[in-house]
Amino acid sequence: MISSYDAAILENQQLAPSIWRLQLDVAALAQQVRPGQFVQVRVTNTYDPFLRTPLSVHDCDAKAGTIALLYQTVGTSTHALSRLRPGASVNILGPLGNGFTLPPARSNGNFALLVAGGIGIAPLLFLARELVAKKVSTRLLYGARTAADLTGIDAFEQLGVAVACCTDDGSQGLKGNVVDLLAGYLQSGAAGDVYACGPTPMLRALQQLVRSKGLAAQFSLEAYMACGLGACLGCVVAVPGGGYAHVCTDGPVFKEREVEL
């Protein structure tokens, strides 16, 4: 059930020049949230900034009652968030959105290809944890501008996820983008269900690739959001055949064929 929670900050750690990981004590939310869902964070206890900040749930430990958020400092709210220290708290609204659809548990024959562009890595760790728990063989393809922006790879490797990276400047992994990285991987005859998050141009190119290869894919979309509850039309995305869907309530995760990017 969607509720607002005052969540105590356990840790707020800088991982890269503009990327931070926030660990929150919020047991009631941790026990119900699913991979791909998000929360709306009120960073201050005033109405400045007025809007809450949508952030995906990066990781979750239901037993410990904690969730983690991974965020990039881009503007007012995310910079304010990076200044908060353990002991402070933030108000969060959630769980919001639909989340990824996971395959049924199988011991073999199921392959998941996680594709992340930049901060699009955020929702994929929690997803990887659940896929691995279902014994789905999982691989991460992760692209960023430069090596310093590739964050949290260890956490995937500790789960047993195979990781391949690329960077725009070639400072780590393949020099190029993550759609090229996936295309190269698929050339070996590999296949799998694709779960992706990243900037819209990346997802648009990925949509072409998965269609050409006949792969099933789910995309987690980012949109400008206001209410986060389906009430303001702030977050719409075009759907095939005309009309729109709300990223906040119909998504943020869509099957690739459900959206016009």
Task: Give me the residues that bind ligand FES (CB under 6 A), please.
Answer: 225-228, 230-235, 246, 248
d(CA 167, CA 197): 16
In the region spanning residues 80 to 119, those forming contacts with ligand FAD, defined by CB under 6 A, are 119
- CA–chain centroid gap for 17, Å, is 19
156: closest CA among 134, 132, 177?
Answer: 132
Radius of gyration over alpha carbons of the chain, in Å? 18
Compute φ and ψ for 183, nearest 5 degrees.
-60, -40
Is residue 33 part of the contact set for ligand FAD (CB under 6 A)? no
d(CA 95, CA 135): 25
Q: Residue 54: name its binding partner from ligand FAD, ligand FES, none (Cβ under 5 to 8 Å by kind).
A: ligand FAD
d(CA 232, CA 192): 36
Q: Residue 178: name its binding partner from ligand FES, ligand FAD, none (Cβ under 5 to 8 Å by kind).
A: none
Is residue 255 part of the contact set for ligand FAD (CB under 6 A)? no
Q: Which of 7, 36, 42, 54 binds ligand FAD (CB under 6 A)?
A: 54
Is residue 150 part of the contact set for ligand FAD (CB under 6 A)? no
Is residue 223 part of the contact set for ligand FAD (CB under 6 A)? yes
Q: Residue 171: name its binding partner from ligand FAD, ligand FES, none (Cβ under 5 to 8 Å by kind).
A: none
Q: Which of 26, 29, 70, 205 binds ligand FAD (CB under 6 A)?
A: 70
Q: Residue 71: name its binding partner from ligand FES, ligand FAD, none (Cβ under 5 to 8 Å by kind).
A: ligand FAD
* Cβ partners under 8 Å of residue 92, min gap 6: 4, 5, 7, 24, 26, 29, 39, 40, 41, 42
- Residues in the interface with ligand FAD (CB under 6 A) total 21
User: Pairing between strand 111-117 and 38-42?
Assistant: unpaired
CB atoms within 10 A of CB 213: 13
Residue closer to ligand FAD, measured from CB, 70 or 206: 70
Min dist CB 82 to ligand FES, Å, is 24
Q: Residue 124: name its binding partner from ligand FES, ligand FAD, none (Cβ under 5 to 8 Å by kind).
A: none
118 near 90, Cβ under 8 Å?
no
Would you give the end-to-end CA distance of the chain in angstroms? 30
Q: Residue 233: name its binding partner from ligand FAD, ligand FES, none (Cβ under 5 to 8 Å by kind).
A: ligand FES
Interface with ligand FAD (CB under 6 A): 38, 49, 53-56, 70-72, 74-78, 119, 122, 222-225, 252
